[in-house]
């Protein structure tokens, strides 16, 4: 940790992520994105990494979260997350993003939001997005809901080999069909608004912008808003913050400059995870959180491990599923919506 613990001293916060599939959020390898951050002195973090290596005894040169997640290392995992572990007492935080809800939230924000730009800096869940996400699968059925998610993902995706207007055409054919089939239902009313001429104009303008100019902030990539949310969590302590982050291709100098202004941060440094023990611990925590959160989302959660993860989970996580959100600690703010 840089500086001393007195008020006003600079805090160094080490970060890493797990579950990145780029802009493919509805058909990728993972259904949860996790961004973890750790506040520990370098020497303390190195001691914990060595302790984990001593207990697991794998010949791997670089340990990852899956080493701790193996059944035979359950005691190491519980110790890592537990009250006597290195991360308790306010030393760690996890920002979770449920990917399909992130897509719905961004699509509703783009087409129905006040600004109509799919705001890259706003992770807050609008009530229409929450309602559509929770009512849509029950109302439309699995196949139609999956078609809606896929069309939404393609509409918002920057990297798309099709002609500029094609994703918008596909999206509106999809919502037109849903509007006609499910008219009068709660989800159908929201889809009717998505199908309106004003929304179509916004979608076409968005696709034209994606075609005609370089995109600095892809609205579907969860990394940038997750970093801003993480930074604001630590800044709430009233001290300046420097983020030490694992190297990512997404983190170009232009994007780092935007993050520093949006948060705002004192500095952002990129390092190789294996060169900084604090980042290694953040890598462990991100991978563990992603796996445990995904298990909860899919009805196979381990109550004991979920309870150990819960103290780290940020309440501003972007999470639409109410049941798993309550168990993870993400859903108190919107469970009554």
pLDDT in tens, 156-191: 998 765 555 689 999 999 999 999 999 999 999 999
Residue 289: which H helix or E strand, with range?
helix 277-297
Residue 336: pLDDT over 50: no
Report the C-alpha gap between 247 and 261 in whole angstroms: 20
In order of 114, 124, 230, the CA distances from 293 in angstroms are 31, 19, 18
Question: Which residues, 6 or more positions from 166, have their beta carbon under 8 angstroms from its beta carbon?
Answer: 160
Report the C-alpha gap between 99 and 220 in whole angstroms: 9
Report the C-alpha gap between 247 and 270 in whole angstroms: 5
The sheet carrying 241-246 orders its strands as: 92-98, 32-38, 11-18, 241-246, 267-271
Report the C-alpha gap between 288 and 292 in whole angstroms: 6
Sign of CA dihedral 56, 57, 63, 69: negative
Residue pair 206/118 in contact (Cβ under 8 Å)? The answer is yes
pLDDT digits (tens, 9 = 90+) for 141-160: 999 999 999 999 999 998 76
Q: What is the pLDDT of the chain when averaged over all its residues?
A: 92
pLDDT digits (tens, 9 = 90+) for 41-98: 999 999 999 999 999 999 998 899 999 999 999 999 999 999 999 999 999 999 999 9
Residue 258: pLDDT over 60: yes
Chain centre to alpha carbon of residue 22: 12
pLDDT digits (tens, 9 = 90+) for 198-246: 999 999 999 988 888 878 889 999 999 999 999 999 999 999 999 999 9
- Structure tokens, 295: 């298990």
Q: Looking at residue 337, what is its pLDDT?
A: 31
- Percent of the chain, pLDDT > 90? 84
Chain centre to alpha carbon of residue 36: 10
Report the C-alpha gap between 321 and 323 in whole angstroms: 6
Counting Cα atoms < 13 Å in the Cβ hemisphere of 40 gives 26
Helix (H, G, I), strand (E, B) or coil at 28: coil
């Amino acid at each position: 940790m840089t500086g001393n613990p007195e008020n006003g001293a600079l805090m160094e916060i080490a970060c890493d992520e797990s579950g990145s599939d780029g802009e493919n959020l509805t058909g990728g390898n993972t259904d949860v994105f996790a961004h973890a951050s750790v506040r520990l002195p370098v020497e303390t973090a190195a001691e914990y990494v060595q302790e984990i290596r001593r207990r697991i005894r794998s010949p791997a040169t670089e340990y990852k979260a899956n080493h701790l997640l193996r059944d035979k290392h359950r005691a190491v995992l519980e110790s890592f997350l537990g009250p006597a572990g290195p991360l308790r007492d306010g030393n760690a935080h996890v920002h979770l993003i449920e990917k399909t809800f992130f897509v719905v939230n961004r699509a509703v924000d783009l087409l129905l939001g006040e600004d109509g730009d799919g705001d890259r800096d706003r992770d807050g869940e609008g009530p229409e997005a929450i309602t559509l996400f929770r009512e849509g699968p029950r109302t439309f059925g699995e196949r139609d809901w999956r078609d809606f998610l896929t069309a939404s993902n393609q509409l918002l995706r920057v990297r798309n080999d099709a002609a500029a207007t094609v994703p918008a055409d596909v999206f509106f054919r999809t919502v037109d069909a849903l509007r006609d089939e499910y008219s009068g239902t709660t989800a159908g009313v929201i889809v009717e608004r998505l199908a309106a001429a004003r929304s179509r104009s916004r979608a076409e303008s968005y696709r034209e912008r994606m075609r005609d100019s370089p995109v600095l902030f892809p609205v579907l990539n969860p990394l940038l808003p997750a970093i801003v949310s993480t930074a604001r969590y630590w800044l709430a302590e009233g001290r300046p913050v420097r983020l030490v982050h694992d190297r990512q291709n997404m983190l170009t100098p232009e994007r780092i400059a935007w993050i520093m202004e949006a948060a705002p941060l004192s500095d952002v440094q990129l390092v190789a995870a294996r060169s900084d023990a604090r980042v290694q611990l953040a890598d462990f925590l991100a991978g563990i959180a992603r796996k445990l959160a995904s298990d909860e989302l899919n009805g196979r959660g381990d109550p004991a491990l979920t309870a150990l993860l819960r103290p780290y989970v940020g309440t501003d996580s972007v999470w639409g599923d109410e049941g798993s959100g309550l168990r993870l600690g993400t859903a108190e703010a919107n469970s009554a919506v």
